[in-house]
Structures are given as C-alpha cells and as structure tokens.
Amino acid sequence: MTLHSLTLHEIHEKLRKREVSSVELTQAVLKQIAKTEDKIHAFITLTEELALAQAKQADDLIQKNKGASPNNFAPLTGIPIALKDIFLMKGTRTTCGSRILSNYVAPYTATSVDNLLKDHAVIIGKLNMDEFAMGSSNETSHFGICHNPWDLKRIPGGSSGGSAAAVAAGDCFGATGTDTGGSIRLPAAFCNLVGIKPTYGRVSRYGVIAFASSLDQVGPLAKDVTDCAILLKALAGHDPRDSTSLNLPVPDYTASLTKDVRGMTIGIPKEYFVEGLDPEIEKAVRTAIDHYQKLGAKIIKVSLPHTTCAVPTYYILAPAEASSNLARYDGIRYGFRHPEARTLLELYTKSRTEGFGPEVKRRIMLGTYVLSAGYYDAYYLKAQKARTLIRNDFEEAFKQCDLLLTPVAPTAAWKIGEKTDDPLKMYLSDIFTINVNLAGLPAMSLPCGFTKGGLGESPLGEPPLPIGMQLIGNHFKEETIFRAAFAYEQANEWHQRRPAL
C-alpha cells in the first residue's frame, strides 16, 4: 500500500517506528497532489515550502525524542494536514473561495489552526470550497469546481468539498472543515469519509471566516473514526477569544473507541425516512440500523415533528447573519477593491458586485430582506421561534435515546451542473443535516455503503458512489458518537475503500 492511502494513525505508527520521516511523507503527498490536482482541483493554495519546513522541524522534534521517551510526540506531529480556505493562517493567502478575498493574506492565525500547529502538524495547503461556505456542491467557488475523486463528473459535496476530495484522494491525512448546515457531513458522505460537526462552541471560531455565526462550527474530515477522534481532540478546546466557546475540558476522544454499543439506545426519527429518499440510500442506512441491533444496541422509533421547518428556518437565519457578516467586505481596508470606482458608493457597489458570486449575492439579498424593518417579525423572529421548536424536539428525543441515526443526504453525489440552475433543489440536499446546526448538536457522517453504480453515459459505466449515515448526539456527547461509530466501523469495511485515481 502506498503511503498516501494510509490513515493518519497508521502514519503516526510509521513515524514512531522511524519507518518514514515527515519530510518523506510530505514529499510523497506533494507528489500525489501533483498527480491528482489537475483532475480534482481540491486546492486553492499550496503551501509547499512552508510544509517542507514544518516537516523538517517535526523530524527534528521526533529525532530529539529518540532518547528517554522516544514515542512522546503528539499523534499529529509531522503529519500533512490541509485547511479549508476559510481558516486564517498568518502570512498565508486566505480566500474563502471568493474573488473579494482573492488577494487577502491573513494577518493572524485561527485558534484551531494554532492548536494543530502546537502539535506540529504539517500544513500542506488551503482547500477549495464553496464561496463563503455557501453551497452544497463546491460549484460556487471563485477558483473553480472541485471534482469528486470517486467519479470526476460529480461534485464532492459542499461546502468543505475541497477538504473531502483532498483527504479521499490521498493529498493529505486529514483536513479541517466548517459545517453551517451540513458542510462537513455532506462532503464526507459523498467522498466516503468520516466527518464530525461537534457541539456548537466545542471548537473555537476565532480566525475562521464567519458565514452564519450562530450555526458555524469547525470540525475535521478524515479517513476513519480514529483519525477523526485524533483531529477533533487537537482542534477543540476553550478559547477566551471566542465568546461562544465552551469552557469545558476536552475529553480524549480516542479513549471512547471501545467497539461496544451494548446498552446504548439508538433512536430512528421517522421524519428522516420519507419520500425523496433514494431507495439505495435508505437500504444502506437500514442495513446499518440492523447492524447496530446485532451489536447489542436497542433500536427505537422516535419523532422529531418540526423537521420539515428546518430548511425554511435555516434559509432565513443563515442569510440574515451572512448579510451582516459579509458587510465588512467593502473594498476599503483589504481584499478586492474595484479599480475604477470614483465615489464612495461606487466603490462599495462595484467592489461587491464584482467581488461576490451569484449564490453569495442571493443570500445577502435574502438576509437583508428578512432583517428589514417591517419584515423582521414575520421572518427573522418567527424563524427564531421555529428554531426553539426544533431544539425542543431533539431535547425530547434525547430523553428516550443516546443517539439518533439518520441518512446524511437524500441521494449520493450528483453530477456537476445538475442542480446549479435550481437553488431550491440544491437547498433540499441539506434536509437531513440542517436541523443539527439549528439545535447546536454534534453529529457525524460515516461510510455505510455504496451505490451499485452501473451503466451510464461513460463507456465504463457509472462507478459505485459512497453512502454515508449520520449519528446525532446530545450536546457535548461527542464521545457517545465516537463510541458507536467505532463499533460500526470495526465490523465493516466501507471506510477502507479508496477511489481509483
């Protein structure tokens, strides 16, 4: 097996045994990127020089540890990781997938990235994403579409599509993502990865470009549950610079990986198995449910009656916050400034007109509208009330069970261009993930099967596509999710499949 197809924890073992150096590893990954990037376009910026320097440093550190306690280095030390281009890293271009930030060099580093750097991870580059994280397909990036490594004609999912594609393609051993309405879980499902959106406040948002502040949460994408646990442990923690950050100790998530789900109650919300759900997806998820029963978990039916309110609620609240969060991109202090503006108003309108893409503009307009005097009560305030109802639904459900199990998306990855002309159709792809953000809960997407594939336009036919399932936990119960996910993963092999590239 080639280096780049190994998992993060497997690589850590190799570094410990000195079977490979971080520099060799970094070079191997850069080679893989060079080989695949033309096809996939997962990166916006490569930080090759920085990565090699960091790898050299990590090797020095590992060598130094050779004496008394030879294996005493963090699991991320020397391991190439990539960042969604929404994370600020000092001195590095951070575009957020937008033309308006196409020339923006970050003046400081995000807390979560600092946490990775403290563990001496190697940062290999900045990953492609939907512009300002708005989109479910990675087609709104100013820097071009990212392709799904499992089928290059298809999207990798959004908005952390570059993160998912890069990890799946072996361009890095883990990536950071952000999840506002499913932006970690959807691409994880579409690229056969494990991705977790932690409890709101678990990971600092400081230095992560805001889309919708009350929904955004940082999380990792990785090849398996163990990698995901290692990455989340590194990213998480209280940050005094983020007022919404939780002041709670971070558990060692790898300690929760015990294979055991006996005594656990898993709720199946009936509202998630409805018309529009692709039969192949439903079958895979139901098989996983049966599997949990075999492993000793108790399966019960639950109801989340306000599930159908989630999409409209989300598409009021998220654009409202976005319209305000994106006001700072005005061409005055940084980022793209229109060269021909002669008056202040012209500077604003021309810079923003040409700096933002259509999806971002659509949401700014929508958000501006719902916050306007006279409409606030009818839209924003009402959506806040609906959000409370959705949150209460979950609270009720978690009185009966430890976890909820649902599909991640109604379909597998769709073809590039398939939904771009119909925003509403695109918005519905997030129907199973959005609720979790509105409630601030932790949720993971993990592989649970593949579509059959079959005859398509291509002479080789359509390749099988990954299917993901979602485990939703109560607030701060990431450990329960990890425990259940690991138990399933140990008994299945879906996560071991790699795309043919």
Partner 1 sequence: MSYETVIGLEVHAQLLTATKIFCACSTRFGAAPNENSCPVCLGQPGALPVLNKKVVDYAIRAGLAIGCTIAKKSIFARKNYFYPDLPKGYQISQYELPICTGGAISITVNGEKKTIRLTRIHMEEDAGKLLHEHPTTRSKEASWVDLNRAGVPLIEIVSEPDLRSAEEAVAYLKTLRSILMYLDICDGNMEEGSLRCDANISLKPSGAEKLGTKVEIKNMNSFRHIEKAIAYEVQRQEEALQEGGKIVQETRLWNPEKEVTVPMRSKEEAHDYRYFPDPDLLPLLIEDSWVTAMHQHLPELPTAKRDRFISEHQLSPVDAETLTSSRDLANYYEACVKVYPDAKKVSNWILTELLRELNNSGRSIKQCPIKPERLAGLLQLIDQGTISGKIAKTVFLEMYKTGEPADKIVSRQGLTQVSDTGALEKMIETIIAANPKETERYRAGNEKLIAFFVGQVMKETQGKANPQLINEILRKKLKP
Residues 440 and 199 sit within 8 Å (Cβ to Cβ): yes
Task: Quote the longest CA-to-CA distance of the chain.
Answer: 70
Residue type, 485: A
Which of 135, 207, 219, 269 touches partner 1 (CB under 8 A)? 207
From the list 98, 141, 163, 183, the catalytic residue is: 183
Closer residue to partner 1, CB minimum distance, 59 or 321: 321
Residue 102 near partner 1 by CB under 8 A: no
Q: What angle do CA 17, 23, 24 make, to 5 degrees?
A: 70
Binder to partner 1 among 240, 296, 358, 417 (CB under 8 A)?
A: 240
Alpha helical stretches, state H, 295-421: 310-325, 344-355, 358-371, 382-397
Nearest-approach distance from CB 207 to partner 1, in angstroms: 4
- Does 333 engage in binding with partner 1 (CB under 8 A)? yes
- Residue 382 bears catalytic tag: no
Please provide residue 225's backbone torsions phi and psi, each rounded to the nearest 5 degrees. Answer: -65, -40
Q: Do 197 and 443 contact (CB within 8 A), yes or no?
A: yes
Between residues 62 and 184, which has the closer beta carbon with respect to partner 1?
A: 184
Nearest distance, CB of residue 410 and partner 1, angstroms: 29
Interface with partner 1 (CB under 8 A), residue from 206, 253, 292, 494:
206
Residue 57 touching partner 1 (CB under 8 A): no
84 flagged as catalytic: yes
Structure tokens at 347: 């500077």
Nearer to partner 1 (CB atom), residue 344 or residue 491 = 344
Half-sphere exposure of 60 (CA within 13 A, CB side): 7
Shortest distance in whole angstroms from residue 26 CB to partner 1: 26
3-state class (DSSP) for residue 243? coil
Active site residue 183: yes
The backbone torsions φ and ψ at residue 252, rounded to the nearest 5 degrees and listed phi first, read -85, 100
Q: How far is the CB of 146 from partner 1 (least distance, A)?
A: 21
| Least distance CB 346 / partner 1 (angstroms) | 13
Of 59, 330, 393, 478, the one binding partner 1 (CB under 8 A) is 330
Closest CA to 106 of 123, 130, 81, 122: 123
Instruction: Report how many residues bind partner 1 under the rule CB under 8 A.
Output: 42
Round to whole Å and give the CA distance between 305 and 271: 7
Structure tokens at 235: 């990213």
Q: Which one, of 78, 165, 163, lies nearest residue 123 by Cα?
A: 78
From 21, 84, 137, 429, active-site residue: 84
- Beta carbons within 10 angstroms of residue 446's beta carbon: 30
| Residue 404 interacting with partner 1 (CB under 8 A) | no
Q: How many CB atoms sit inside 10 A of residue 107's CB?
A: 10
Which residues sit at the interface with partner 1, rule CB under 8 A?
88, 94, 96, 101, 104, 106-108, 110, 205-210, 212-214, 240-244, 320-321, 323-324, 326-328, 330, 332-334, 344, 348, 368, 371-373, 376, 380
Q: Among all residues, which ones are annotated catalytic?
A: 84, 159, 183
